[in-house]
Amino acid sequence: MKAAFIIFDQMTTLDLIGAYDPLTRLKSMNILPEFEWDMCSLTQKVADDRGLRFFPDTAGEPLGEYDLIFVPGGFGTRSLQFDTEFTAWIQTASSAKLKVSVCTGALLLGSAGFLAGKRATTHPIAFNELEPYCQSVVDQRVVDEGDVITGRGVSSSIDLGLFLVERLAGADARRRIAQQMDYPYWNLS
Amino acid sequence: MKAAFIIFDQMTTLDLIGAYDPLTRLKSMNILPEFEWDMCSLTQKVADDRGLRFFPDTAGEPLGEYDLIFVPGGFGTRSLQFDTEFTAWIQTASSAKLKVSVCTGALLLGSAGFLAGKRATTHPIAFNELEPYCQSVVDQRVVDEGDVITGRGVSSSIDLGLFLVERLAGADARRRIAQQMDYPYWNLS
């Protein structure tokens, strides 16, 4: 199982890290030692919507080798959803068995065509923007369509990350990772 | 108001970003437009406890100009608490009016002497390690000692960040920022 965490300029970092933390504990807590991941971007350098700068692990490489792609949201999605080069890059992940977004990252899955005929969610301020890309917009914290899973706003990333942990490694792994994260709200969403 | 977010090798990124998100919204949502911050490290490059690489804004600079220092936890704290160069660097923040930690970041505030005579908290797995540095270890999600505020484990960073937002900008700012973060648990801790 290899995951691509997609990073881009003007993303919201909590959208990314909320799920990155529980998912990468699958490896660090030795629950799924074979779980691997890369931070993938189209550009050499990335800064979030408040200036925090990251190094990607891969830049401009196609995404065909990944089993899971995770797309965060943020202000950058508003223009990237109409950027044909970026969209073509996301589409190289079409064979990924799990396509996941948080917040306005759903607009990027949508512009790549991955939400066609699916139920999906996003930050409530972007419900209208998401509508053209999917069958219906759902006001739930996590929306599971099997191979496509979307989370609502920013902090829902933690809940979605724990949801994925359970999908990949079972309910006991979710409980153990939530405890290690000291997350008392793990069973509320 | 200028904040220093301390970053170091083998930190846990969610400890950092959980509070970074709500605090930096004070500026991006134009609530406290004068709120500024730097990502500060002792070294030129930083990688977290799972390999994610960051650029600091300042490296090896003293911390005397900051009103607030924020120290995340992570595996790196276990050795850094005994690293005299790192401890001396944290001590350059002694005049900061707010000294804040999440998770095992408390061990770094402790080794700098900032917890002497104070109540404090950390991740439950590190309660024993924290004891020698403070007056008493408290099992609460956020422990407020006026100029020193400590948060328990990893995800408590979000709750601590919203606590600080209220301290700096009032209850309505906390409510608005929690809504923008789509954080339904904002009033539970």
**Under DSSP, is residue B79 helix (H, G, I), strand (E, B) or coil?**
helix
Residue of A nearest to B159 (CA): A183
Inspect the interface and report whether the beta carbons of A20 and B124 lie closer than 8 Å: no
Mean pLDDT of chain A: 97
Nearest to A86 by CA among A52, A143, A27, A41: A41
Which of A2, A48, A141, A155 to mutate to probe the B interface, most B CBs <10 Å?
A: A155
Nearest to B25 by CA among A21, A78, A155: A155
Dihedral pair phi/psi, residue B47, rounded to 5°: -130, 140
**Under DSSP, is residue B56 helix (H, G, I), strand (E, B) or coil?**
coil
Contacts of B180 in chain A (CB under 8 A): 153-154
CA distance B110 to B114: 6
Contacts of A123 in chain B (CB under 8 A): 182
Q: Is the pLDDT of residue A187 over 90?
A: no
Inspect the interface and report whether the beta carbons of A50 and B39 lie closer than 8 Å: no
- What are the residue ranges in chain B where pLDDT is below 70? none
Contacts of B183 in chain A (CB under 8 A): 153-155
- Rounded to an integer, the average pLDDT of A27-34 is 97
Helix (H) or strand (E) holding A71: strand A68-71
Catalytic (active site) residue A103: yes
Cβ pairs A/B, distance under 8 A: 92
Q: Is the pLDDT of residue A76 over 80?
A: yes
Residue of B nearest to A20 (CA): B14
pLDDT confidence of residue A36: 98
Q: Measured between alpha carbons, how far is residue A44 from residues A48, A55, B14, B152, B180 in Å? A: 14, 7, 23, 36, 30
> Which ipTM value was assigned to this complex?
0.96
Superfamily of domain A2-180 in the CATH hierarchy: Class I glutamine amidotransferase (GATase) domain (3.40.50.880)
Tokens of A57: 């692990």
Q: Tens of pLDDT along A137-158?
A: 999 999 999 999 999 999 999 9
Please give the single-letter amino acid code of residue B80: L
Contacts of A39 in chain B (CB under 8 A): 52
Q: Tens of pLDDT along A78-114?
A: 999 999 999 999 999 999 999 999 999 999 999 999 9
Inspect the interface and report whether the beta carbons of A14 and B12 lie closer than 8 Å: no
pLDDT confidence of residue B189: 73
pLDDT band at A161 (very low <50, low <70, confident <90, very high): very high
pLDDT confidence of residue B180: 97
Helix (H) or strand (E) holding A180: helix A171-180
pLDDT confidence of residue A189: 73
